[in-house]
Structure 1
Amino acid sequence: MKVAKFGGSSVASAEQLKKVACIIQDDPARRVIVVSAPGKRNSEDVKVTDLLINLGNAYQVGKDYQYELERVLHRYQIIIAGLQLSSELVNTISQDLVQVLEKDYDIETKLEAIKASGEDSLAKILSTYLISLGIDARYLNPQDAGIILSDQPGSAQILPESFEKIYKLRKSNQIFVIPGFFGYTPEGKLVTFSRGGSDITGSIVAAGLKAELYENFTDVDSVYCVNPQIVDQPKEITSLTYKEMRELAYGGFSVFHAEALIPAFKAKIPVCIKNTNNPNALGTIIVSEKEVRGNPVVGIASDKGFMSLYVSKYLMNREVGFGRRLLNILEDEGISYEHTPSGIDDLSVVLREKQMTPEKESFVIERINNELHPDLVYIERGLALIMIVGEEMHSHIGTAAKATQAFADAKVNIEMINQGSSEVSVMFGIKEEGVERAVRSLYNAFFR
């Protein structure tokens, strides 16, 4: 049994859904299908999820939302007409969405349900299309599939009892089409994963079914070792370990959701990233272990939008609980951190810039001054993180030296270096303006 998940670009139009149907028919082992909401058809297009968020925002502020609703339904009308399905399906989707808007939910649950309707509607369209082709297919709501989640809207986590319920799906010979991105709490409340969470659904279902393979179909032949928008025609990665892919996803690789691999990793299920537009391409396989290839670095990831909170105090190392109290201040303001490089008398906290609004910034600094009495505290914005990733780095001498030389060759100053305890990655903090120069120089150093 294989679980196949199709991303937004794979289900963006009727033409793409026809390709999806061919891929499903091509392998009888693909018995469970997980889908995203329709993505962009071209670079100028808008994702259906974004249209739904606009609809939810209009509803929340009491604005007339008819225009936003019509934009969403128009996308489905085009897909349904292109698949030559009954227009009644459009009416069904419209009624479902209006019912969500009119239902007596609290506003948070209503907004969650509006966002989740993109995946839900697409799953209904695809299952109907498969049936029209003579395939024994069935739409399956996540609640009926057994996807039971924690009550954390927008960042829900799978509950252990889900896997036993999902495993029961093996008893059927039907092809199930399950919408990704959302599930239900034990009390029956709809909750979603973080944005892009359909990858997580696919991984959870694969783990629950104990599938032999989890296929994640997207719009690229494989994972590249660096962002192809920065480096022209970069090398493809044929195999990765779970840890390497997790680090790369966190570092900015958009091909895979950063949290999606965890269920598959725990269940030791290999994951294959494949191209809907070229399904016979080899793709990239993600496994627990892989053979040694020689190059210690498998990929270079980069991401912008970070900032650093710098705190300095003489004899900080002797002050018991200093770091805990600093992080408690951030926790009180609902701010999560990414990294905490430290010295004897100073500590930096790296976090996502969007979390620290100007109002929060002044309040946080005031609290730090009043409660921790530092010698110096300031915030530096406009940082980017670059990561070199590879499980073999720990056994190769000179990897860090080669990387720092690459930054010097690119004339980019390193603001911060941090190596994780797992030794799978080394992270460099730099100013945003130097990202592309640094990434190209690193690519030349390790891959050319």
Structure 2
Amino acid sequence: MKIVKFGGSSLATGTQISKVIKIIQSDPQRRVIVVSAPGKRFKKDIKITDLLLQLAQAVIDQQETADIYKQIFLRYAEIADFFKLPKEVMQDLKKHLRSIAAGSYPSEDFLKAAFSAQGEFLSASLITQILNKIGMKARRLTPKEVGLTVTDQARNAQILPGSYAKIAQTKIQQDEVIVFPGFFGLTKNDLINTFSRGGSDITGAILARGFAADLYENFTDVDSIYTVNPNLVDDPAPIKEMTYDEMRELSYAGFSVFHDEAILPAIQGNIPINVKNTNHPEALGTMIVPQDQISHKNRITGIASADHFQVLYLHRYLVNREVGFTAKILQILADLNISYEHMPSGIDDLTIILDKNQLTDGRKEKLTQRIKDEIKPDVLQWRNSYSIIMVVGEGLVNRVGAMSDIVDPLRKANISLTMVNQGSSEISIMLGVRPEDADRAVQAIYNAHFDHGHAKKED
């Protein structure tokens, strides 16, 4: 059995959905279809999820909602009309969405979760109707019906482990296709709660593990995952095959084709992932596999960069001799519910790299004050904009000269580094650079190792 997930661009219009139908029909092993909310039809279009969040905010603020409802309904009505569905289908969808506003929610975040999940729910409902109309036997299933239960941290759900056994008990008839809404599950209190944005990837991976699928296919709008951001270099090298660990490292640092949290259920279930293109389904795409199934060891598999970081630098003499120094800092971070990304240190210095998205609601100021009061550093400095570059490849392991291969192109490009760190797994090298140098740094490393879309031969 294959679990197949289609992203928002694949479901944005009737024409795109026609391509999806052909993909489903071309392989009888594609039994469970996970759907996203309709995405953008053109560059300046608005995703359905964003319209739903606007609607949620208008409900919270007790503002007029008619125009937002109209925009949402028109998007689904265009698709329904394309497939000549009966008018009752849209009437049911409208009734369902309006019922969400009448619900009771423990917080504004849970109200937003309930609304934003409806893009996927309405997609699943509509596509089930379309498949049945064209003669395919299709059934919509929901998180409630399969027991997909999640934690209660609003809009940042994590699956509860007992869900997998419940999913495994779900019966699928030999001749039917299951259509499943991505992006959300239910808490133990039956509240709708969403995964982080882009979480339909996570739903697909959860179902792949739960149903013990042979393959998880993730259809998007590119032929493969590329070695580097295509906006930075011309004709970037495609990645034909990569390991779970390589994908995790690259997703963390900016690869957005596949949600990094979606790797975990696949790892736990030992299920290969194939990222493919809805618009070019015959292309092989990128396979993401366990390490023991990889057929090569690339010197460099991918290069990614991200700039959503801030850095707190601390200096105090002899900190390396103070027992419990780092433990004090970790306790302060824990008290403020802040996780750190990295914490390189020296004999008198310590640097804390933080995701700046966490430093809201006064937490940055509270962190600064507590560090001053409890740690008493001689120097405390914030660097409010910071970029990390991640160079990843199984071929970096035990490779003599791996670090110089990465750093030398930056020296030649006159780019200074603020941090260099090789992970304990040895498949990644992390570099800290000034944000204004990040793109040039990625290009310099790529050009030193790739030429015309292919890896250069080693000397």
TM range, normalised to the smaller chain? over 0.9
Q: Does 1:402 align with 2:410?
A: no
- My pick for the range that moved more, 248-257 or 359-368, is 359-368
Equivalent-residue separation in structure 2 for 1:126 and 1:212 (angstroms): 24
Paired residues of 1:200 and 1:259 also in contact (CA < 8 A): yes
Amino acid across the alignment from 2:318? L
Where does residue 46 of structure 2 map in the other structure? 46
Distance (whole Å) between structure 2 residues aligned to residue 160 and residue 410 of structure 1: 48
Q: Is the 8 A contact 2:297 2:394 kept in 1?
A: no
1:441 equivalent in alignment to 2:457: no
* 2:454 counterpart residue number: none
Structure 1 runs (4+) deviating above 6 angstroms are none
Quote the sequence identity (%).
Answer: 45
List per-residue Cα deviations over 1:151-208 (Å, max 9, x = no partner): 2222211122211221123542221100001011233222111111110000010001
Matched AA of 1:340: M
Query: 1:252 deviation in Å?
Result: 0.5
Structure 2 alignment gaps of length 5 or more:
452-459
Paired residue for 2:99? 99
1:249-303, CA deviations, whole angstroms, 9 ceiling, x for partnerless residues? 1110110001001111111111100100011111111111244646411110111
The aligned counterpart of 2:177 is 175
What is the aligned partner in structure 2 of residue 149 from structure 1?
150
The C-alpha deviation readout for 1:332-388, integer Å capped at 9, x for no partner, is: 333222111111221111112232249433332121111111111110022111100
Change (3 A) 1:149 1:359: closer
Specify the alignment match of 1:68 in structure 2: 68
Matched residue of 1:407: which SS? helix
Instruction: State how far apart, in whole Å, the 2-side matches of 1:309 and 1:210 are.
Output: 44
Contact 1:35 1:180 in 2 (8 A): yes
Give 2:268's match in structure 1, choosing from 266, 269, 285. 266
Instruction: Give 1:385's aligned amino acid.
Output: I
Write out aligned runs for 1:38-437 (5 A). 38-106=38-106, 107-173=108-174, 174-289=176-291, 290-291=293-294, 293=296, 295-357=298-360, 359-437=362-440
Give the Cα separation in 1 of the matches to 2:55 and 2:324. 46
Distance in structure 1 (CA, Å) of the matches to 2:172 and 2:387: 49
Code of the aligned partner of 2:252:
Y
Distance between the aligned counterparts of 2:331 and 2:59, measured in 1? 36
Contact 2:241 2:294 in 1 (8 A): no
Distance in 2 (CA, whole Å) between partners of 1:358 and 1:277 is: 43
For 1:389, give the aligned amino acid. V
One-letter identity of the residue aligned with 2:143: P
Aligned equivalents of 1:160 and 1:335: distance in 2? 25
Query: CA separation in 1, counterparts of 2:32 and 2:50?
Result: 26
Q: Tell me the amino acid that sits aligned with residue 111 of structure 1.
A: K
Query: Normalising by structure 1, what TM-score?
Result: 0.97
Checking the alignment, whether the CA contact within 8 Å between 1:315 and 1:345 is kept in structure 2 is yes
Letter in 2 for 1:151: D
Residue identity matched to 2:181: P
2:243–2:289 Cα contact (<8 Å) kept: yes
Amino acid in the other structure paired with 2:287: I
How far residue 399 of structure 1 moved from its aligned partner, in angstroms, is 1.6
Whole-Å Cα distance in 2 between the matches of residues 210 and 365 of structure 1? 48
- TM-score, reference length from structure 2: 0.94
Q: Contact between 1:5 and 1:199, CA under 8 Å: does it hold in 2?
A: yes
Asked whether the equivalents of residues 170 and 209 of structure 1 are also in contact (C-alpha less than 8 Å), the reply is no
Q: Distance in 2 between the 1:428 and 1:395 partners?
A: 19
- Output the aligned Cα RMSD: 1.5
**Partners of 2:238 and 2:97 in 1: how far apart?**
41
**Number of residues of Structure 1 aligned to a counterpart in Structure 2:** 448
**Partner SS, residue 120 of structure 1:** helix
Deviation string for 1:78-130 (max 9, x for gaps)?
22112221232222121111111012223332221101001000011111100
Deviation at 1:398, TM superposition (A): 1.1
Contact 2:4 2:216 in 1 (8 A): yes
Counterpart mapping for 1:18-33 below 5 A: 18-33=18-33
Judge conservation of contact 2:339–2:354 (CA < 8 Å) in 1: yes
Distance in 2, matches of 1:435 and 1:24, equals: 41
Residue identity in the other structure for 1:88: E
Task: After superposition, give the CA deviation of every residue in 1:201-226 in whole Å (9 maximum; x if it has no partner).
Answer: 00010001111100000001111100
- Unmatched runs of 5 consecutive residues or more in structure 1: none
Contact 1:295–1:446, Cα closer than 8 Å, also in 2? no
CA contact (8 A) 1:77 1:87 kept: no
Q: Quick one: which amino acid aligns to residue 24 of structure 1?
A: I
C-alpha contact 1:292 1:392 (8 A) present in aligned 2: no
The amino acid across from 2:250 in the alignment is L
SS in 2 for 1:281: coil
Partners in 1 of 2:109 and 2:357 — Cα distance?
Answer: 21
Check whether the contact 2:311–2:382 (CA below 8 A) recurs between aligned residues.
Answer: yes
Give the secondary-structure state (helix, strand or coil) at the position aligned to 2:275.
Answer: strand
- 2:160 corresponds to which letter in structure 1? L
